[in-house]
Amino acid sequence: MKQKTTEEKIEICSEWLRDFLTRMTFDDPVYFNQFIKTSEDDLILYHSTLGMAVRNGVALWEYSWEKNLIDGVDHSDGHPDQVSFAAIQRVHDEFVGMAKVASDWVESLQDRPK
């Protein structure tokens, strides 16, 4: 089993996801646009699609984590499901922030005297 902290695993997944979504922008801009427009509360909708792609893309199941079992369910922050979702949240926040900056910049150009 590979050894990394939860934060290191989240960053590895985030890097993979940034690259994947950047390539997706050219292949399927509609999907990318939907992702950016998704509310924070609805990001869970990407768990079984984008989350699975992240988990498989970085072989997340090969990393060890300390289990936190409650009633037979692992609630550990280091569980691959939790790590991939944290990466989705992080990258979503970054891309939404970049989109906002770009939008503000375009708006400021439109407001300039000609």
The pTM score is: 0.87
The C-alpha atoms of residue 102 and residue 96 are separated, in whole angstroms, by: 10
pLDDT score for 99: 83
> What token pair was written down for 25?
């922008």
Q: Using CB atoms within 10 Å of the CB of residue 107, give its burial: 0 to 12 exposed, 13 to 18 middle, 19+ buried.
A: exposed
Task: Of 73, 78, 75, give the one whose Cα is nearest residue 12.
Answer: 78
The C-alpha atoms of residue 62 and residue 16 are separated, in whole angstroms, by: 16
The C-alpha atoms of residue 9 and residue 73 are separated, in whole angstroms, by: 21
- Over residues 32-74, the pLDDT tens digits come to 889 999 999 999 999 999 999 999 999 999 999 999 999 999 9
Domain ranges of the chain: 6-28+41-108
